[in-house]
C-alpha cells in the first residue's frame, strides 16, 4: 500500500530527492496549505527540478518575487505610461518583436532612438524595420538573423500581412545558415495554411546539409502540397538519411512510397522493427506478419521485488538504479518483475533490453477493466500505453498523474461529479481509479468522436482543440494524400505525434481482442465525417 495520498509536510518534502515527483509535492504543499513561511518557500525554490508556470505562480504567493521578475513588472507598467523614461534594464527585458508591434506609430521611432542611444544596434535595426510600411523588404536588407527573429516571434496574422512574398534563392541560402531556419520551415508548413506565396520559396531550400531530418521532412511535405513529387521525394530521402530514430526513418520511407510510388521504400518499411502506423500499413499492403511486437502475460501473481507501484519516488529511484545497467543485466532483472502486480516494469525492462527493437504489449490490472466492452478496453489500453506505459506512479512535468495521466483539475472535477468521498489526487496512482476515471472521461469524448485518432487528439490536446481543428475545413478532407497530409500537419505538435502512436497501439490491441481490423480502412474513414465525429456533420 502506498504511503502517499496526502499533502506531505515541509519536513517530508525537504527529505525527498530532487525530481519531478518532488516538484509535484512542493506544488501541493504550496497550493493546498497555508503554513509555509517565506523562508521555507525560498528553500523549496532552490530544490525545484523543473519549474513550470503553475509552480512559479504558487511561489509568487509565498515569497517575494525575484529581482528580475519585479523589474519586468515595473518595466511593463512604465512602458504603458511613458516610453521615453524606459531604462536600459527595461529595454533589455521588454524589447522583443511582439512588444514593438504593440506600440503605436509614434512610439516606435522613440523606442528605436532609445535602442540606438543604448548601443543596441541589432535590436534597433529590426525594431526600425518593424516601424516601416514594407517590413518584409526592410528586414531582408538587414539580414537573415533579423528576418527570422521577427517572423518566428510574431503570430500568424502578422506573418500573413507582412511576410507573404517571394524570397530569392540567394536569401534562402542565407536563411539556411541560421539555426532559427528550422523553426521558420515548421511555422510555414505546419497547421492551417495561412500563406500563399512564401511557401513556394521553400521549394528551393535544402542545400544546407546540416538541416535536421525534421526540416527535410517538412520541406518534403511542402513540396507535396505544390505537387512537386520528384522534389518531395528528394527531401524525404534526405530526411530518412538524417533521422536517428526508427519511427522518423519509417515516416520518411512511407512518404517516399506515397509521393514517389516507391515499392522499394514500401518493402524496406515493411521490414521495420518499430511498431508504428507506417510499418503496420506496409506490412498490411504486402500481407506480411507483425514479428516485432509481442503480447506478454505474467508468469506469477506476486513479484519477487517488494516494489510499491504507487510511489513516484520509488519509480524515480528505480530509473536511477538501472541507468548504467548492461543489457544482459536488464534481462535478468526483468525476471524479478515477471508478475501481475509489476507487469508494466517487466515489459519496460524487456523493451529496454531489446534496445527497443521489440515492442511489448500488456494488459495489466485487467480486473479493473471487467464489465467494459472490448472497444472501450482497446481505447483505454491504447491511451494508457502511450501516456505512461502503464507505470502507475508516473508524474509529468505539468503534474498529470498516474497511468492515465489526469491533470489534477480534471481528476477533482470527475471525483466531484461522481460524489467520491475523501478523494485525494494521489488516488490517481491507483490503477483502479485511473481506469475508472478514464472510462468516465471517454464517455464524454465519445459523445462527439468515434475515431480512435480523434479521441486521442482530444484526450491529449483537449476536445476544444479537436473541435476547432475538425471544423476549420482544412484537415481530413477527401483530396490527394489524405488523410496522411493532415496527420502530419495538424498544428499542435504534441497531439500530432501522440495521435499516431495511440493509433498504432489501437491497431495492436484490436488484434489482441480478436477484431478483424484493416489499417488502410481505419485510416480511410478519417475523411468521412459521418463515420468519425459529430463536429463536421
Phi, psi (deg, nearest 5) at residue 513: -90, 15
Backbone angles phi, psi at 38, to 5 degrees: -60, -40
pLDDT tens digit sequence for 252-267: 999 999 999 999 999 9
Nearest to 44 by CA among 69, 9, 4: 9
Mean predicted confidence (pLDDT) in 64-72 = 60
Which has the higher per-residue pLDDT, 95 or 363? 363
d(CA 466, CA 439): 19
Q: Is the pLDDT of residue 470 over 50?
A: yes
**Count of CB atoms situated within 10 Å of the CB of 70:** 11
Q: What is the CA radius of gyration of the chain?
A: 26
Query: Would you say residue 529 has pLDDT above 80?
Result: yes
Instruction: Give the mean pLDDT of 470-478.
Output: 95
Q: Is the pLDDT of residue 71 over 80?
A: no
Give the model's confidence band at 210: pLDDT under 50 very low, under 70 low, under 90 confident, else very high: confident
pLDDT band at 2 (very low <50, low <70, confident <90, very high): very low
**What are the residues whose beta carbons fall under 8 Å from the beta carbon of 257, sequence distance 6 or more?**
263, 265, 266, 269, 282
Query: Which helix (H) or strand (E) is 316 found in, with range?
Result: helix 312-321
pLDDT top residue among 78 and 254: 254
What is the model's pTM? 0.93
Q: Per the structure block, which three cell numbers stand in for 417?
A: 461529479
The answer to whether residues 356 and 272 touch, using CB atoms and an 8 Å cutoff, is no
The whole-chain average pLDDT of the chain stands at: 93
Confidence class for position 3, pLDDT limits 50, 70, 90? very low
Banded pLDDT at 287 (limits 50, 70, 90): very high
Identify whether the C-beta of residue 379 lies closer than 8 Å to the C-beta of residue 347.
Answer: no
Q: Rounded to the nearest 10 degrees, what angle do helices 277-285 and 263-270 cross at?
A: 110
At residue 533, what are phi and psi to the nearest 5 degrees? -160, 165
DSSP string, 442-487: HHHHTTTB-SHHHHHHHHHH-HHHHHHHHHTSSSS-SSTTTTHHHH
Determine the Cα–Cα distance for residues 181 and 231; give it in Å rounded to an integer.
20
| Interval 435-450 mean pLDDT | 98
**117 falls in which pLDDT band (50, 70, 90)?**
confident
Band (293; pLDDT cuts 50, 70, 90): confident
Yes or no: say if 278 and 254 are a contact pair by the CB < 8 Å rule: yes
Is the confidence at residue 102, as pLDDT, over 50? Answer: yes
CA 277 to chain centre: 18
Average pLDDT over residues 389-399: 96
- Give the pLDDT confidence of 505-527 residue by residue, as tens digits: 999 999 999 998 999 999 999 99
Amino acid at each position: 500500500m502506498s504511503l502517499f495520498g496526502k499533502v506531505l509536510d515541509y519536513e517530508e518534502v525537504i527529505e525527498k530527492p530532487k525530481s519531478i515527483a518532488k516538484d509535484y509535492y512542493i506544488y501541493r504543499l504550496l497550493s493546498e496549505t497555508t503554513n509555509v513561511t517565506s523562508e521555507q518557500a525560498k528553500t523549496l525554490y532552490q530544490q525545484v527540478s523543473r519549474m513550470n508556470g503553475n509552480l512559479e505562480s504558487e511561489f509568487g504567493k509565498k515569497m517575494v518575487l525575484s529581482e528580475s521578475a519585479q523589474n519586468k513588472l515595473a518595466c511593463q507598467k512604465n512602458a504603458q505610461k511613458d516610453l521615453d523614461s524606459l531604462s536600459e534594464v527595461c529595454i533589455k527585458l521588454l524589447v522583443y518583436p511582439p512588444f514593438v508591434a504593440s506600440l503605436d506609430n509614434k512610439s516606435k521611432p522613440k523606442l528605436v532612438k532609445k535602442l540606438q542611444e543604448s548601443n543596441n544596434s541589432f535590436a534597433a535595426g529590426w525594431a526600425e524595420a518593424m516601424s516601416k510600411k514594407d517590413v518584409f523588404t526592410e528586414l531582408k536588407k538587414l539580414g537573415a538573423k533579423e528576418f527570422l527573429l521577427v517572423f518566428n516571434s510574431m503570430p500568424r496574422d502578422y506573418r500573413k500581412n507582412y511576410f507573404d512574398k517571394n524570397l530569392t534563392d540567394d536569401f534562402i541560402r542565407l536563411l539556411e545558415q541560421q539555426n532559427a531556419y528550422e523553426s521558420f520551415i515548421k511555422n510555414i508548413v505546419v497547421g492551417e495554411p495561412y500563406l500563399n506565396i512564401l511557401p513556394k520559396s521553400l521549394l528551393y531550400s535544402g542545400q544546407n546539409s546540416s538541416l535536421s531530418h525534421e526540416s527535410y521532412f517538412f520541406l518534403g511535405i511542402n513540396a507535396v502540397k505544390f505537387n512537386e513529387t520528384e522534389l518531395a521525394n528528394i527531401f524525404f530521402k534526405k530526411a530518412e538519411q538524417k533521422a536517428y530514430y526508427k519511427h522518423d526513418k519509417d515516416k520518411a520511407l512511407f512518404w517516399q512510397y506515397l509521393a514517389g510510388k516507391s515499392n522499394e521504400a514500401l518493402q524496406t518499411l515493411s521490414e521495420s522493427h518499430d511498431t508504428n502506423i507506417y510499418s503496420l500499413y506496409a506490412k498490411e499492403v504486402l500481407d506480411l506478419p507483425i514479428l516485432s511486437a509481442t503480447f506478454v502475460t505474467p508468469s506469477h501473481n506476486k513479484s519477487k521485488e517488494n516494489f510499491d507501484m504507487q510511489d513516484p519516488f520509488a519509480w524515480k529511484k528505480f530509473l536511477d538504479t538501472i541507468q548504467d545497467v548492461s543489457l544482459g543485466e536488464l534481462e535478468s532483472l526483468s525476471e524479478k518483475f515477471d508478475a501481475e502486480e509489476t507487469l508494466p516494469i517487466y515489459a519496460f525492462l524487456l523493451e529496454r533490453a531489446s534496445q527497443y527493437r521489440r515492442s511489448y504489449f500488456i494488459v495489466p490490472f485487467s480486473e479493473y477493466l471487467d464489465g467494459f466492452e472490448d472497444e472501450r478496453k482497446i481505447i483505454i489500453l491504447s491511451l494508457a500505453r502511450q501516456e505512461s506505459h502503464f507505470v502507475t506512479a508516473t508524474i509529468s512535468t505539468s503534474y498529470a498523474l498516474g497511468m492515465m495521466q489526469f491533470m489534477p483539475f480534471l481528476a477533482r472535477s470527475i471525483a466531484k461529479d461522481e460524489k467520491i468521498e475523501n478523494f485525494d489526487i494521489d488516488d490517481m496512482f491507483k490503477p483502479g481509479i485511473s481506469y475508472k476515471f478514464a472510462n468516465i472521461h471517454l464517455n464524454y469524448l465519445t459523445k462527439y468522436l468515434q475515431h480512435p485518432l480523434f479521441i486521442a487528439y482530444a484526450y491529449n490536446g483537449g476536445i476544444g482543440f479537436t473541435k476547432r481543428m475538425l471544423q476549420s475545413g482544412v484537415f481530413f478532407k477527401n483530396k490527394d494524400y489524405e488523410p496522411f497530409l493532415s496527420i502530419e500537419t495538424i498544428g499542435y505538435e504534441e497531439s500530432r505525434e501522440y495521435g499516431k502512436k495511440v493509433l498504432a497501439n489501437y491497431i495492436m490491441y484490436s488484434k489482441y481482442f480478436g477484431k478483424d481490423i484493416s489499417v488502410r480502412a481505419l485510416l480511410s474513414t478519417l475523411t468521412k465525417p459521418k463515420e468519425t465525429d459529430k463536429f463536421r456533420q
